Structure 1
Amino acid sequence: MHGPRGTVRIPPGRQQVILASLLVEANQVVSTEHLVDTLWDDQPPDTARTQVQICVSRLRKSLTDAGVDVPIETRPPGYALRVDPARLDVHSFTRTVAEARVLAKEGRAAEAAGLLRAAVALWRGPCLSGIPHRALRTRALRLDEDRLAATETYLELELGLGRHHHLVGEIARLVQENPLRERLRAQLMLALHRSGRQAEALDVYRAARDLLIDELGLEPGEELRLLETAILAGDPTLHQHATTPERDPGPTAAPAGQRTEVPRQLPADTADFLGDEALIATAEAVLTGEGRAVGVVVIVGRPGVGKSTLATHIGHRVAQEHFPDGQLHCDLRGTRDDPSAAADILGRFLVALGIPGPMIPQGLAERREVYRTLLAGRRVLVVLDDAVAESQVIPLLPGSSTCAVLVTTRTRLTGVPGARQIELDSLDPARSLELLSRVVGTDRVTREPEAAAALVRTVGGLPLALRIIAARLAARPHWSLASMVTRLANERHRLDELAHGEMTIRASLSLTHDGLDPAARRLFGLLSAVEGPTLPGWVAGAVLDDDRPFPSDLLEPLVDVQMLDVASVETTGEFRYRFQDIVRLFAREQVTTPTADAVERVIGGWLAIAEQAHRRIYGGDYTVLHGTAPRWHPPEDYVSAVLADPLEWMDGEQANLRAAITQARTAGLDEACWDLAVTVATLFEARGYLDDWENTHEDALALCRRTGNTRGTAALLSSLGTLHINRGQPAQARTALTAALDLFTTLDEPVGLGLCHRDLALLHRQAGDDDQALTLYTKALHDFDRAGDVVGRAIVRTQSAHILTRRGHMTEAHTHLEEAMAIYRQVGYTSGMAHTLRRLGQVQSQAGDHTSATETMTRVLDMVRSSRDVIGEGHLLTNLGEVCAAAGDVPRAQAYYEEALRVRDQILDHSGAAVIRFELARLLARTGDHTRAVDLLDAAAATFAERGMVRDRAAAERELALLRASNPVTTV
């Protein structure tokens, strides 16, 4: 660090560590506890806080003496170093890379590459290389990865510009420094090939393959393999220069072996959007400013003024350039009877950010802490639509100034800290006329300028009302604008007891509604009774009980007159629709016929498709109970198309399925409610939506108990037992499963009995009571056989094989697994195959066949990665580490353990990460790396103590004592 009076000398040791900690969190408060933990990894002295104060005091004096205007402020609960971000190299680096991203997307490759080279030139070596404390190591590695990612991007840009001759030497040096970096290898191969040095390019591939096999036991990735094939084939496309990079040159690229989820949840933008550019610019300045705090904009306005449309439009304008790490969006349902709770929204956001459901804590405070941890340093935009109170918004505010929040509401939220309140008023006359001209045509507006102006005044500049009226005029080209002014004025007079905004919109809706034919009016009313954020086209057929092959045709007349919006287009080509909230309310008021039958058919439609989805995943109606609720079957072609990937369909319809279960509960449809809930649990378990699992089941359970539906009650209790197992709550799981078992015994329901016996066996297995577990597995096997549930039988075989393996009964375990695998192959249950193959790999490893075990585990690893099962990925990487360690292949074992540790840390699985640290430490102790082994054991023991993992903590402390006794130097 330099000041006006020369270089500032900061003594090595604690002062450097504290200064580094404050700098990496510049302009943010760093707690004293954090500084203590950073300085003393284990057992800080009683004077730790005093020593931190002394170090900070000396730092202040050193900076002041050197004339450096960088104050260290005391801010409870710690300190904050205040500095202009422009003075920090890391800020300059980040800003420059962001500018390069924009240039690259504009096709200005040469300028982008130049900026990236300038950004990389700011570095003088590895980040924080002189400060070895592990608390700072993760942040330093992230920054080093950002530098390397930027380097790879400018190389890619310059290769696209034809500069291959000049890049060969530079890339070769980088490959030597980063030998396992496959992207750099590919760039070197391409540069050599384009320079006419094909033999050398192929040598680079062979050297990479030999290294990867020797070091990790892995073949090169797809990119290197395809590039080698293309070079051998003389593919002419290799000489075509690209002008834009394949990868985003962002500083937020995830380290190798780590995948960062990038949510893109913004709704579609409005193509013909019209808005106040000055207001938009104000909002954008707040959201994208370089301030110390999170930029928060609250858009306030009456119904129909276009708050949500404006928020979405602004979101799309700033997302790509300023918030490349993702955009989170949620409807807070502030104007509904059941507004969304902050804890539920946080749960959904955490899943979107890549945290598996079982890793998400229960409490609001804990979820908020994890949420802020994940967003720290990332550039994410959070859009909260239709908020009703500060209590909804405040817990959803990120803690990092790199993020921003956009809120819409009908009331001022003055309690949101630091929020810029923006009042959204009606469109001014000029923009209103422009919107009217776009819809009805410029000629009609030009022919009747006075009537057009009067029409704009009559609707008060409300975009929603104006669009509805304009759509009505567009559908009636023979109507004059003046006649519409008269009609609207009369309708408004009839409604003059309402508030101005509501009166205007209702008047425009009334005129359009009265102009619809009776069939369209009936459909409009029935559709409004259906809950859910969006409406797939088949719902129109369901509410009318119309089995035509293309029921979405029924909705087009409502879309034409703006009574219904097109929300999106599905991959199948089908449209998805939605109501504006105020339009839905109006539609419900127009209903003159009962809607109960229509609602029941829609819920029956969801049930029919969900049932088919479960069958396609499991290969049949296996390990699930169904009720007697009537199904309504959407068109077969539609169902076949959307269920090409059944789990993806369920994921995409998650909100609608959740709403259908809630509506079934409200309507008292107990059979449909419990059946749909337990069927959709397939999605909840696979994707980790544990909050949805619990909420839907608790709602359905209350209804079934109220109506005396014993079978539904038992099915829901059994499913809740499985949920509690997923959450690591054995006591709650045992209570639910025991209650379900009693009911199923009374009913003599074999599938239900099998499910309960299976899960109770798993609880006993986890508690170490293998004998009782095997007894229960035998009962479950009998139950599933009685029901003809082959998948249930296979699951029992797979789970019981784990106990047999642990007891050394390898032949019997292998037989169980082979039987299970045959069943899974027959029905096509992929997830079951993955679980069974993993157990088979463990059997092979314990039998000493490490080569086969490695091949099996590697195959399963590919399967769980393709299914986005990050928890399973962590397990498989750990298993591979164990297999390699048992085989004596320490380098490969260490590589797998390190990768498993990255995965666990990424999803904030602290307990799982501690277990891996323990195993990795034992491995490193064998290699003589006692210093790192002690560090890992210290960290593991601390986590075990914090989490109450008594046996694990004792094991870690024993290992530490042995290691320190045999290597006294490690105690220093």
Structure 2
Amino acid sequence: MQICISNLRRLFTAHGYPTAILTRTNGYMLQVDERQIDSFTFEAYVSQARRARDNHGLDEAIKHYRQALDLWRGPALGGMRSRLVQLWANELNEHRIAANEECIELELELGMHHELIGELTRLVKAYPLREGLVGQLMVALYRSERQAEALQVYRDARTMMVDELGIEPHERLQQLEYLILTSAEDLDLAEQPGQAAPRRSSEAAKPPTMIPGAIADFTGRDAQVRLIREKIINSPAGAVRFAVPTVAIIGRAGIGKSTLAVHCAHDVAELFPDGQLFASLHGGTPNPTSPTNVLERFLRALGVPGHDIPDALEQRAELYRTLLAERRTLVVLDDANGEHQVSPLLPGNAQSAVIITSRTRLGGLAGVLHVDLDVLDATQSMRLISQIAGEERVQADPRSSANLAELCEGLPLALRIAGSRLAARPHWDIRQLVNRLEDETRRLDELKHGEMGIRASLSLTYEGLSGPARRLFRLLAALNSHVLPAWAAAAALDQPIFVAHDLLDELADTHFIEATDAGLGVRTHYRFHDLIRVFAKERLAAEEPPAERAAALERILSAQLVLTAKAQNREFGFIEFPEPPIDQHPSLPDQLVDQLVAAPLEWFERERRFLVASIHQAMQAGFAELCWRLTAVTTKFFEARAYLDDWRETHKLALEAARQAQDRLGQATMLFKIGTLSLTEQRFSNARHVLEAAAEIFADLHDDPRRAMVDSRLAILDRLSGRFENASKRFDRALSLLGGGVNADSVYILYSQAKLYLDCERPDDSYRLLSEVLEFARSSGDRRLRAQVLFRLGETHFSKQDFEPGEEAYAEAMTAVREIGDRIGEAFVLLGLGTARFHQGELATVGDLLGQARDLAKATRQRLVEMQAITGLGELALATGDAPRAQALLTEAGDFFAEVELPLLEAEARVLLKRAYLATGDQAAAEAEEIRIQYLVEQIDPLPAQHIRDRLAEAQHGGR
């Protein structure tokens, strides 16, 4: 149970709720706000819906009902066999189905019977004895002119009730059957709001029907179709509709705006018996259609002779609105480029409706429902390809079909082109087309069939941009990253950030790029889609000279170096390896930098992928010094957030760049940081080898400060191995090279030396050093250093038997590591606290603390901490009489310490293991462990060796 609770606590903590589970004397308590529990949220939405319904706000009521129902994922508390739990679950399920019935009742009142048939069919199948649902399904089917099916639903329900319950359906259901049998038009079956008005007589003039043919293979977009239909059909209950229902479908080129508009137009066409008008406005081209010309076409379609059509735009618009004043007409305006092109074409009669498609939002039109289109998901993409190229063909090679959908990025135009090419070439297999599309340089050439083409579609939008926006679009393609921050645009252009933002907004308005949810304001990030990025690269190669491409890239990388260095300085209180001095970047004034890196760790999380991509690109472009310097200022962030894969990948890359450029300082710097990584990953032999190589280069360069840093890392390796004397000499030499004092260069050396003092049983000296370092950490603002020093102070206090200040130091350290999201630091604190509690004899909480430390260390790949926690758990098992468990745990820990060549820690684990064998009477195994321990003692210094011998003697006599 404790393990389960511990796992839950970690999950809650990872999502920002560290105090969600509280320990009580008789168990545990979940402490969260009611608004964070979905059942309370469900009831709140239902209450809002009922209030809105009682106030005749049917649209609002339906919205709240649907919000409530959307929270559900299957039956409440499914799979829980507890009778008590199921009693409450049944109550919740009853509330759900009641809310569903109430919602459907309102939707039927608003004429949404077509959309409800599928949902009602599923509900009746799940709840066949609920007569309310049966009646609603009968009503929906009857209104949809499916009388026979409505009657069959009644007959099935009656059979079920008679067979299962021995009763006839309620009188209301029987009355409903009678009304359907007699084709009644009154009571509940009268025409509802949103149903079509009577058609014109056959003598009337034929209304215009200009909508293009329906799309047979239309796929997906169910939610958007529903939104559009609701906007066009429904009006507030009991109110007169004054404004013309207008929908604007927004999206980038090829996203399927026109297809959706035509599909929806056909879906609601019967509701507009006086005609459907359609015009392509060509807003994405250099020569859009003028509203004056569109009005001429519309007026002629409405029966106005050519000689009676006015010349002026305003007069044509007035005549147009007059003609539509008594008509129910649907107007579809495809590919609009702005409000000015659309406004004269809007009817004045609220019984009409308008559907617009555009690549930009039409914020100047009041009351417009904007429906933003995104790409199709994988399932919808596969379905569209199947409908065009043939389902059997897709099913024969599902993997290649999935690859094809991915290469088309779910873009409907690209999918249609790909499907059409396959349909036109039945001798091709799908893999053949995939192979062609995988070549990025030819992708746009391959995505062309007949008059359909991605490049042509994108070119129209590109030509409609301003000159500066087109240039920014090209320069951003010089970056290998799909996601880029706004400041990178400013650096690419060498312009202030507000200029870059205006141009980015222009690109976003045309959907060439899109804002991500990574940040707001100056922290906004933008994303390129693959197909658009391929097009942008083509424009870059065709229109930008190589020198300008390289200059723009260098400006971006230089700006990245400035930002990362200043973020490191703000978070950690100093910049490692700052030479040469980092000056202000022209496009990044101090005020902007302060805004961007105000919260350095949050900034790093937003920028991490772009940072890694920048390092790769610096290497590829031959900017060796920029590459290794940029890499160097990321190390602290990678270490603090345990991004070990990024750390390893970028630093090896930068080392290779420095070697190719024969940059000795760069090589030594990267070797030092790679050695630090190996130390962090507990690859100690490799760490020593790499660090010694770095020390040799720094010595050749007469670089004492950096040589001191390398010596301090080698001293840590000596300490871990039990060679305390060597460690002490290295620490002293490192501090001597730095000239003494507590500063940014010496602080980590002093902190590490304090641990050596603690191991050498000199807690007072350790406390003195840590007090000095803590003062520096607080003044410098280095939160991670402060947390580490507090942890070490807690360890020092406990070694001196000062338990209360030790607990306080650990508590403050835990708060600090959680504030900065340092999961490795949290594992260390849990390990220290569990070990301290064990030596105090407070065994009740030790297992939970050490178990959390072990699990967190394992998750962050801190094997050394994990095995130290396992050693502690083994000792706890011994203390509580579980010798077999102790043997298993201590064997695992001892074998690991042997593998990484840490004789002191291995010896400590094997002393405990010997005790475990003695506890079970396995004398032979105990003697084998003692031989191994004696061998290990010979490899370490006298002080720790004597400590091991003392513990070995205690073990022999059963002591602890």
What is the TM-score when the length of structure 1 is the normalising length?
0.50
Query: 562-571 vs 736-745, which deviates more?
Result: 562-571
Q: CA deviation at 1:650?
A: 0.8
Q: Which amino acid aligns with 1:672?
A: L
CA change 1:663–1:833 in 2 (3 A) is same
- The answer on whether the counterparts of 2:715 and 2:728 sit within 8 Å (CA) in structure 1 is yes
Q: How does 1:819-834 map to 2 (within 5 A)?
A: 819-834=772-787
| Map of 1:838 onto structure 2 | 791
| 8 Å contact kept, 2:444–2:531 | no
Structure 1 residues 726-765: aligned runs within 5 Å = 726-765=680-719
Aligned with residue 489 of structure 2, among 540, 552, 564: 540
Contact 2:672–2:694, Cα closer than 8 Å, also in 1: yes
Matched with 1:810 is: 763
From 733, 749, 753, give the equivalent of 1:796.
749
Residue 843 (structure 1) shift:
1.7
Paired with 2:669 and 2:775, the residues of 1 have a C-alpha distance of 28
Whether the 8 Å contact between 1:627 and 1:675 is mirrored in structure 2 is no
Match of 2:670 among 680, 702, 716: 716
Q: Is the 8 A contact 2:284 2:461 kept in 1?
A: no
- 1:895 CA drift (Å): 4.8
Q: Which residue is 1:470 aligned to?
A: 335
| Paired residues of 2:655 and 2:670 also in contact (CA < 8 A) | yes
CA distance in 2, matches of 1:499, 1:920: 62
Deviations 1:517-539, CA, capped at 9 Å, x for gaps: 33232222222212322222222
Quote the residue 1:230 is aligned against.
none
Alignment of 1:431 with 2:260, yes or no, is yes
2:835 is aligned with 1:882:
yes
Q: Which letter maps to 2:809?
A: T
Counterpart of 1:653, as a letter, is E
Distance 1:506 1:944, change over 3 A: same
Equivalent residues in 2 for 1:29-178, closer than 5 Å: 107=46, 122-123=81-82
Superposition map of 1:10-25 within 5 A? none
CA apart distance, 1:107: 4.9
Judging changes above 3 Å, is the alpha-carbon distance between structure 1 residues 589 and 473 closer, same or farther for their aligned structure 2 residues? farther
Alpha-carbon distance in structure 1 between the residues aligned to 2:797 and 2:221: 64
How far has the Cα of 1:674 moved from its partner? 0.9
Q: 1:578 — aligned with what? A: 527
User: Structure 1: which amino acid aligns with 2:619?
Assistant: R
Gap change, CA 1:275 and 1:738, over 3 Å in 2: farther
Q: Which amino acid aligns with 1:937?
A: Q
CA shift in 2, pair 1:517/1:470, >3 Å = same
Tell me how far apart the structure 2 counterparts of residues 755 and 276 of structure 1 sit (CA, whole Å). Answer: 70
Identity of aligned residues (%): 24
Q: CA deviation at 1:609?
A: 0.9
Q: Deviations over 1:416-461 (max 9, x none)?
A: xxxxxxxxx9859742546999xxxx9xx97544788999xxxxxx
Q: Which amino acid aligns with 2:624?
A: D
Question: Compared with structure 1, are the counterparts of its residues 898 and 935 closer, same or farther at alpha carbon in structure 2 (3 Å cutoff)?
Answer: same
Q: Deviations over 1:74-102 (max 9, x none)?
A: xxxxxxxxxxxxxxxxxxxxxxxx99799
- Aligned with residue 514 of structure 1, among 463, 471, 486: 463
**Corresponding residue of 2:804:** 851
Q: Which amino acid aligns with 1:717?
A: L
| Whole-Å separation in 1 of the counterparts to 2:342 and 2:917 | 89
What do residues 204-257 of structure 1 show as CA deviations (whole Å, max 9, x unaligned)?
xxxxxxxxxxxxxxxxxxxxxxxxxxxxxxxxxxxxxxxxxxxxxxxxxxxxxx
Q: What aligned pairs does 1:945-956 form with structure 2 within 5 A after superposition?
A: 945=895, 948=898, 951=907, 954-956=910-912
Task: Summarize deviations over 1:526-557 as a string: whole Å, max 9, x none.
Answer: 22212322222222221121135553123222
Q: What SS does the aligned partner of 1:577 have?
A: strand
Structure 2 portions without partners, runs of 5+: 1-36, 48-64, 97-213, 226-253, 267-271, 286-333, 346-355, 360-412, 418-441, 900-905, 924-960
Relative distance call for 1:476 and 1:589 in structure 2 (3 A) is farther
The one-letter code of the counterpart of 2:916 is L
| 1:599 aligns with one of 553, 556, 561 | 553
Aligned to 1:9: none
Matching of residue 642 in structure 1 with residue 596 in structure 2? yes
RMSD (Å), alpha carbons: 5.0
What SS class does the counterpart of residue 568 from structure 1 fall into?
coil
Between the two proteins, the alignment pairs up a number of residues equal to 561
Distance 2:618 2:602 in 1: 23
The aligned amino acid for 1:818 is: S
Q: What secondary structure is seen at the aligned counterpart in 1 of 2:885?
A: helix
Residues 1:501 and 2:448 aligned together: yes
Q: 2:887 aligns with which of 916, 921, 937?
A: 937
Of 474, 478, 484, the residue aligned with 1:529 is: 478
Give how far 1:599 is off. 0.9
- Provide the C-alpha distance between the structure 2 equivalents of 1:114 and 1:628, rounded to a whole number of angstroms: 54
Q: 1:575 to 1:864 in 2, by over 3 A?
A: closer
**Is contact 2:731–2:749 with CA below 8 Å preserved after alignment?**
yes
- In structure 2, what is the equivalent of residue 323 of structure 1? none
Which amino acid in the other structure matches residue 734 of structure 1? Answer: R
Residue 719 of structure 1 and its aligned partner are, at CA, apart by 0.9
- Residue 790 of structure 1 aligns to a residue whose secondary structure is coil
Q: Does the 8 Å contact 2:783/2:820 carry over to 1?
A: no
How much does 1:601 deviate? 0.8
- SS of 2:496's equivalent in the other structure is coil
Instruction: Give, in whole Å, the separation in 2 of the partners of 1:700 and 1:631.
Output: 23
- Structure 2 matches for 1:894-913, cutoff 5 A? 894-901=847-854, 903-904=856-857, 912-913=865-866
* Aligned amino acid, residue 470 of structure 1: D
Q: CA deviation digits over 1:287-335, x for unaligned, max 9?
A: xxxxxxxxxxxxxxxxxxxxxx99xxxxxxxxxxxxxxxxxxxxxxxxx
Please, which of 563, 577, 584 is the counterpart of residue 609 of structure 1? 563
| 1:872 aligned residue | 825
Instruction: Give the Cα separation in 2 of the matches to 1:454 and 1:690.
Output: 47
Residues 401-422 of structure 1 deviation map (CA, whole Å, 9 limit, x = unaligned): xxxxxxxxxxxxxxxxxxxxxx
Amino acid at match of 1:707: A
Counterpart amino acid of residue 122 in structure 1: R
Q: Distance in 2 between matches of 1:560 and 1:803?
A: 60
CA–CA separation in structure 2 for the residues paired with 1:733 and 1:599: 34
Q: State whether residues 761 and 773 of structure 1, in contact with CA within 8 Å, keep that contact through their aligned partners in structure 2.
A: yes
- After TM superposition, the score normalised by the length of structure 2 is 0.51
Contact kept, 8 Å, 1:471 with 1:562, in 2: the verdict is no
Deviations 1:662-703 (CA, angstroms, capped at 9, x unpaired): 111122112211111010112211111112112212222222
* 2:915 counterpart (959, 964, 968): 959
Q: 1:860 to 1:624 in 2, by over 3 A?
A: farther
